[in-house]
Amino acid sequence: MKYLLLLFLVACLWSCTKESNKIGEVDAYVPVYADPTTLKIIIQQSPQPITAGGKIAAIGNYLFQVETNQGIHVIDISNPANPRKISFIRIPLCNEATIRGNFLYSNNGSDLISLNITNINNIILSSRIINAFPITQAQYPSKTGIYFECADINKGMVLRWELKKVNNPKCRR
């Protein structure tokens, strides 16, 4: 009887190897990491389309609308019936904006930045507080019931998640 019990336990343990966890190739989300050399570059560019509009802030004749994780749209609202995009401020991992006086404050990933908006056609970075905010980016996609490739913090900050074919992803949410 002891031998049967021992044989049964060995069979159970043998069936719980990693081999039984292989699922094959499936659709899974893969992290896209921010390039650390370009993450902190803030530049004013020509107007861009609004695709993932976020929070807004306004002062005088100007409205500033966040483009989630991309930057901030600068819009002239002096004629409310015909708002006109002036420019786009590229701020990687931006999702907040507020204004006080002649300064626009935003996040650039975990940093707090202030931009001097005195000259709307030449917006410049005024200051930066490094790591002012805890890293709020998720180490996993926002969707549930999905497979994904585990994020590796050694590769940097996750900029976004892309759906791809992945062979035996190790993470599931």
Structure confidence at residue 72 (pLDDT): 98
- The domain ranges of the chain are 43-129
d(CA 71, CA 97): 10
Task: List, for residues 141-160, the tens digit of each pLDDT value.
Answer: 888 899 999 998 788 778 88
- Whether the CB-CB separation of 24 and 165 falls below 8 Å is answered with no
Q: Which residues of 67-106 are buried (b: 16+ CB within 10 A; e: fewer)?
A: bebbbbbbbbeeeeeeeebbbbbbbbbbbbbebeeebbbb
- What is the model's pLDDT at position 2? 54
Confidence at residue 75, expressed as pLDDT on a 0 to 100 scale: 98
> Sign of the C-alpha dihedral, residues 69, 34, 91, 110?
positive
Class of domain 43-129: mainly beta
What pLDDT is attached to residue 138?
63
DSSP assignment of 61-112 equals: TEEEEEETTTEEEEEE-SSTTS-EEEEEEE-TT---EEEETTEEEEEETTEE
Which parts of the chain register pLDDT below 70?
Answer: 1-21, 135-138
